[in-house]
Amino acid sequence: MSRTLQSGRHKALTQFLIEKRKKAGLTQAEVAKKLRRYQSFVATVESGQRKIDVIELLAFAEAIGFDPRDAIKRLSSIKAD
């Protein structure tokens, strides 16, 4: 298995999170507050410098207000690197 950081799927996930956050009208700081994390945590995830696990994806989904299955569907359509 190849490294996932900076893979096509990882980039797609970060873009998905940014898209959903902006569509919800939320700032990184607002999402961070809902996650009980610092804004820099959200920034490092969105910039692709940090991977998130499934549990964190669920937390982002709850904080932003999207169905996490939509993220999985989008990532599944991208060929693995």
pLDDT given for residue 58 in this prediction: 98
Domains of the chain in sequence order = 8-75 (1.10.260.40)
Those residues with Cβ within 8 angstroms of residue 18's Cβ, 6 or more apart along the chain or in another chain: 46
What is the full per-residue pLDDT of the chain (81 aa) written as tens digits?
456 777 999 999 999 999 999 999 999 999 999 999 999 999 999 999 999 999 999 999 999 999 999 999 999 998 877
77: tokens are 């359509």
At 65, is the secondary structure helix, strand, or coil? coil
Confidence (pLDDT) at 6: 78
